[in-house]
Amino acid sequence: MVKNGLVTTTAMERERLDIGIAGGQIVRLEPDIEAGGAPAVDAGGKDVFPGFVDPHTHMELPVSGTVSSDDFYTGTLAAACGGITTIVDFAGAVRGQSLLEALSIWKERAAPKAVIDYGFHMIVPELDEAQIAEIPGLVQQGVTSVKSMMAYKRGPQGSGDGSLLRMIMAASECGALAMVHAENGDAIDVTVDRLLAEGKTEPRWHPRSRPAILEAEAVNRAATLAAMVDWPLYIVHLSSAAALEAVMTARDRGWTVLAETCPQYLTLTEQEYERDGFEAAKFVCSPPLRNEEDRRALWSGIESGRLQLVASDHCPFFYEPQKQAGRENFSRIPNGIPTIQAMFSLLFSQGVRSGRISCRRFVELSSTNAARIFGMYPGKGEIAVGSDADVVVYDPEREVRLTRRPAEPTLLREHVDYTPYEGMTVTGWPDTVISRGEVLVQEGEPVETPPAGRGRFVPRRSGTWELPAG
Ligand code: MN
Ligand code: MN
């Protein structure tokens, strides 16, 4: 039972309602429920949102000889402290590997550790016949989205246009969502080689090796291939004005192209790469941080509904020693940043508090749209009778300074030695976080050490892929 909260869903904004919970589900939603014997969480007039859903994470992901530093325990606990009650992580196969085998490896990693509920997408490499034949089997197991990497062509997971088209065809035959990391990998590889040959080895060359036009080009190409099959396409981590324009052009043609952006692209810019020494490596992710104009265009996409949701692309690496692998060569810096715990507080602070978006729009972006698009609605992404009791009591007034400086108090607990948001203050922070009726977090801190492995695998159905009207 959650009492005295101001509940926001896509159907209501800040209505004072109590939430009755039994068996891990919401069983009542009414103005005044008598507490009876059930232990009550007193929301005391704070905001109450559906548990946040982050559909783009990389826990313990093997990348270029190392592994992302949050595992399914530390990463999901940090996520829970940020109000997230469900993640969808990327399982991934390499060239020649069985997709179903890759899925079982990821399930074995997550099952004993996850604190919150989790699903998987599947990253597919350059596909062979045997792998294509396995895609319906993924859907049967509740993995209803597959992703192709148009970048990283020299790695074990990058793939070409033929493979991408075949992935979209296979997805269309079994109701899976086709996703892409949209950047022109061939052009990036050539540019990286040229920069390195010119002695341009520092991290500030990273963004110059993969400009926004290469993202826009890849969005257009992938959208064209999806249109040939007449099947929806989902663009992960959209980062630039040019790429958003390419999405809008595709939609003008009547093509269904959905897109997410990430808190880093809404908050930070390429200026971070001009830092002295090797500090810029802390901001190396792909696509890279863009310029101020891009940042503004993404906010306008958030305000207008042209962007469907905000996902983290959380993929942390320690500055010491992991990021140091690229000291002599920016292309060897493991790509990725820690961003999951503060992501929705950044969105709330800079979105709701600064007057850009309503609480309802915030709920769409942080929870409901992800649950719908990825086939988990209304079990996830909703406060309604019959939904899982995944609920965040959110303090809209709490100010939190984001820091990982040694000796400074912090609420951030991602397993990593820095935050890209060092020194920033956000207004609004999760107070109480409830997953299937269990209180995991109070006043922003875990109630006790939550049991590893309490999180459940969420088998997903086909999602809902309508575009907003207009
Ligand atoms: Mn990516
Ligand atoms: Mn990613």
DSSP 210-227: S-HHHHHHHHHHHHHHHH
pLDDT, tens digit, 9 for 90 and up, residues 379-432: 999 999 999 999 999 999 999 999 999 999 999 999 999 999 999 999 999 999
Both tokens of 422, joined, read 């060092």
Between the CA of 393 and the centroid of ligand 2 the distance, in Å, is 28
Task: Write down the pLDDT at residue 36.
Answer: 77
Task: Write down the pLDDT at residue 118.
Answer: 99
Per the CB < 8 A criterion, the answer to whether 311 and 285 are in contact is: no
Task: Write down the pLDDT at residue 64.
Answer: 82
Task: Write down the pLDDT at residue 39.
Answer: 76
Task: Write down the pLDDT at residue 456.
Answer: 98
Smallest-distance ligand from the CA of 158? 1
**What confidence category does residue 174 fall into, taking pLDDT thresholds of 50, 70 and 90?**
very high
Does residue 37 have a pLDDT over 90? Answer: no
Q: 136 preceded by cis ω (within 30°)?
A: no
Task: Write down the pLDDT at residue 470.
Answer: 58
**What confidence category does residue 324 fall into, taking pLDDT thresholds of 50, 70 and 90?**
very high
Mean pLDDT of the region 135-156: 97
Unique residue bearing structure tokens 């935050």: 419
145-149 β-sheet, strand order? 52-57, 84-92, 117-124, 145-149, 177-181, 233-235, 257-261, 309-310
Per the CB < 8 A criterion, the answer to whether 54 and 84 are in contact is: yes
Q: List residues, by chain if needed, whose CB lies under 5 Å from ion ligand 1.
A: 181
Angle at 136 between CA 237 and CA 178, to 5 degrees: 20
Task: Write down the pLDDT at residue 355.
Answer: 98
Mean pLDDT of the region 201-217: 98
pLDDT, tens digit, 9 for 90 and up, residues 443-455: 999 998 889 999 9
Higher per-residue pLDDT: 469 or 205:
205
In order of start, what are the domains of the chain with their CATH numbers? 51-373 (3.20.20.140)
Between the CA of 429 and the centroid of ligand 2 the distance, in Å, is 25
Smallest-distance ligand from the CA of 286? 1
Query: How distant is the alpha carbon of residue 465 from its chain centre?
Result: 17
Unique residue bearing structure tokens 């959208």: 223
Does residue 105 have a pLDDT over 70? Answer: yes
Between the CA of 57 and the centroid of ligand 2 the distance, in Å, is 7
pLDDT, tens digit, 9 for 90 and up, residues 230-257: 999 999 999 999 999 999 999 999 999 9
Task: Write down the pLDDT at residue 35.
Answer: 78
* Percentage of the chain modeled with pLDDT above 70: 100
pLDDT, tens digit, 9 for 90 and up, residues 61-71: 998 889 999 99
Mean pLDDT of the region 370-384: 98
Task: Write down the pLDDT at residue 107.
Answer: 98
Does residue 281 have a pLDDT over 70? Answer: yes
Mean pLDDT of the region 183-202: 98
Mean pLDDT of the region 343-356: 98
Kindly calculate the radius of gyration of the chain based on its CA atoms and give it in whole angstroms. Answer: 21
Task: Write down the pLDDT at residue 240.
Answer: 99
Q: What is the mean pLDDT of the chain?
A: 97
Smallest-distance ligand from the CA of 151? 1
Per the CB < 8 A criterion, the answer to whether 317 and 323 are in contact is: yes
Cα 402 to Cα 421: distance, rounded to the nearest angstrom: 6
Between the CA of 39 and the centroid of ligand 1 the distance, in Å, is 43
Residue 87 bridge partners (DSSP): 54, 118
* Percentage of the chain modeled with pLDDT above 90: 96
Smallest-distance ligand from the CA of 149? 1
pTM: 0.98
Q: What are phi and psi of 9, to 5 degrees?
A: -135, -175
Between the CA of 199 and the centroid of ligand 2 the distance, in Å, is 29
